[in-house]
Structure 1
Amino acid sequence: MRTAGLLFFVALCALSVAASLKICAFNVQSFGESKANNRRVMEILLKVMSRYDVCLIQEVRDSKGEIIKALVKDLNRFDKSNSYSYVESERLGRKSYKEQYVYIYRNNVLKVKELYQYPKLAEEGNNETDVFSREPFIIRFHSPTTLVKDFVLIGQHTCPKTALKEIDELYTVVKGIYKKWKTDNVMILGDLNAGCSYVTIKGWKAVRLRSDPRFHWLIGDEEDTTVREKTHCAYDRIIVHGQEMRSGIVHGSAQPFNFKEKYHLTEAEALEVSDHFPVEVDLKPSHRYLLRNEL
């Protein structure tokens, strides 16, 4: 009986890991036609993307709007056990440099409830200087199989020179999301340039996302989210807000995904894909979902 109970516990744990919802943010570093035409790069991207139920892609440089469409089409062929869709932001950036945020997600697992492109201050009739170089792209999901059923992802890629100012302003964004959608279940994710020379100890003290205990930083300052061996910087982060959201995280699941080691690549081969590793985290499955599948 003791052995049977142990086997049941092990099986339940394995099912829990399999049933968790995996989220990522990945700066694919100037993802344009050149990378899209590199077969080896695209094969690696398909392997990476098939790990996740939803992934925020950053630095999409695609004025024709064809690259992501082709990637998702290939992803559906590569992973036939799931069905993938995507939503993309407008092209963002000051002056001539523009890039997009894109969420690629499994539509057989998640449902999009609402989208929100955070407004430029100028568009709001405000004469103040815009804080963000690329305004956050925000999505609200419904997830029937996880403990947290309704949650918001705030995708952000900061400008290195103004990283701390932009990170601090995300505090205001979260407050605005609560006012708009009445939910505390928020996750901020992306390349925040939150490490090395772009941040200082003195600067951190003024960042509300760091000083407010309601914000929990899942990717710590000691992590390395960069591909190059000569660098060790926690540029890419995942931050959660709200007690329910924090309780819904699988303990220890937040980490960079080292695709260089996983797929046995040289540094040069990995850098063809990106100079960043994705950062990832899992949401716990609901107890009802686990029991239903176990029975």
Structure 2
Amino acid sequence: MTSWLHLLLLQLLWPCVSPFKVCAFNAQHFGEKKAANDEVMDALVKIVQRCDICLVQEVQDPKGLAVSKLLQALNRPADLFLAVVSPSIGRKSYTEQYVFIYKKEKILVSDQYQYEDNHPSQPDVFAREPYIVRFTVRSPALRDLVIIPQHTEPDKAAVELEALYDVFTDVSSRWRCQNVVMMGDFNAGCSYLSKKKRRSLRLYTDTDFHWLISDNTDTTVRESTDCPYDRIVVYGQTLVDMVTSAGIYNFTKELRLTEAQALKVSDHYPVEMNLDLTFDSCLSLLPSISLILLGLLTAVGTKTVF
């Protein structure tokens, strides 16, 4: 069969074998200094481009130069990615941004807003309030996807994660959404959040929420640590049923880096989940695939493709 027909069929069938990947990555003080390091940027591009949606945390880029440089690298040579960047969020002089990088061919941004941490009984619970984004996925199987990011203050992890349930109820009331993901560097392990404390959280006791990253998963880069700090929590049975796998992306191993090289990128591994949208994708492609196959059969009959 001619090479161009092979390529065409592969392009058509790729959504039938490629999962929809949602990631969260604490890039550890990502700003202009890191963006100027070519080796670090090369690794970041390889990490982020694997994901259909990637939440990047601990971004310190008020001028937008580092994020712009990352997007330029991701979009070379094809224009594939866009980003939603939150305002700088935090207390006093220390602030961070939440950045959502997503593939524009698969996803649209339908809404976004900054959660206001002004509850009368517990004002200013969060060190970094969630900046919430509502995505429209170009798939009838999963139209609506809301992502609530959170990077907790380590010593207040239990308090902030308990308050994250209130963020969920606020979002659900505001948008009437059914498919919700809460993810990020929760500091949800080791000395910051014991298993006993986690079991008392509403996000854990409410069985409608599913914790996809287990307590046995080490999300840290350093060999001397073993902690499940970064988590993904999923709400909505439709969304839960689509999850085929979840875990970390060990970029030290996958990119063949030393520990020292990996730590220049971050001291956290990304956490990610794969969603199975293949059946829906293949159904939408059936007319195109049928036409291609019909053309192939016709060509075979006239002995023009062999």
TM-score, reference length from structure 2: 0.86
The aligned counterpart of 1:266 is 258
The aligned counterpart of 1:106 is 103
- Within 5 Å, give how 1:79-118 maps onto structure 2: 80=78, 83-118=80-115
- Within 5 Å, give how 1:1-295 maps onto structure 2: 16-18=16-18, 20-77=19-76, 80=78, 83-121=80-118, 126=120, 128-145=122-139, 147-249=141-243, 251=244, 253-285=245-277, 287-293=279-285, 295=289
SS at match of 2:113: strand
Q: How well do the aligned residues superpose, as a CA RMSD in angstroms?
A: 1.8
Cα–Cα, structure 1 residues 15 and 163, in superposed 2: closer, same or farther, change >3 Å?
same
Counterpart Cα distance in 1 of 2:117 and 2:204: 24
Is contact 2:80–2:105 with CA below 8 Å preserved after alignment? yes
Counterpart Cα distance in 2 of 1:116 and 1:286: 31
- Of the two, which has the highest radius of gyration? 2
Counterpart Cα distance in 1 of 2:140 and 2:173: 24
Counterpart Cα distance in 2 of 1:116 and 1:214: 24
SS at match of 2:55: strand
Is contact 2:30–2:60 with CA below 8 Å preserved after alignment? yes
Is contact 2:141–2:280 with CA below 8 Å preserved after alignment? no
Structure 2: which amino acid aligns with 1:103? F
Structure 1: which amino acid aligns with 2:212? L
| Offset of residue 184 of structure 1 | 2.1
Counterpart Cα distance in 2 of 1:15 and 1:108: 12
Where does structure 1 lack aligned partners over 5 or more consecutive residues?
A: 1-11
SS at match of 1:198: coil
Counterpart Cα distance in 2 of 1:215 and 1:271: 32
What is the percentage of aligned positions where both structures have the same residue? 45
Is contact 1:21–1:146 with CA below 8 Å preserved after alignment? no
The aligned counterpart of 1:6 is none
Structure 2: which amino acid aligns with 1:112? V
Cα–Cα, structure 1 residues 164 and 17, in superposed 2: closer, same or farther, change >3 Å?
farther
Cα–Cα, structure 1 residues 14 and 85, in superposed 2: closer, same or farther, change >3 Å?
closer
Q: Deviations over 1:65-98 (max 9, x none)?
A: 21101111111015x2x51110111101111101
Counterpart Cα distance in 1 of 2:247 and 2:278: 22
Cα–Cα, structure 1 residues 222 and 15, in superposed 2: closer, same or farther, change >3 Å?
same
Where does structure 2 lack aligned partners over 5 or more consecutive residues?
A: 1-11, 290-306
SS at match of 1:93: strand
Is contact 1:136–1:156 with CA below 8 Å preserved after alignment? yes
SS at match of 2:191: helix
| Offset of residue 209 of structure 1 | 0.6
Cα–Cα, structure 1 residues 43 and 279, in superposed 2: closer, same or farther, change >3 Å?
same
| Offset of residue 17 of structure 1 | 3.2
| Offset of residue 63 of structure 1 | 2.4
Is contact 1:118–1:138 with CA below 8 Å preserved after alignment? yes
Is contact 1:147–1:284 with CA below 8 Å preserved after alignment? no
TM-score, reference length from structure 1: 0.89
The aligned counterpart of 2:298 is none
| Offset of residue 120 of structure 1 | 3.0
| Offset of residue 168 of structure 1 | 1.1
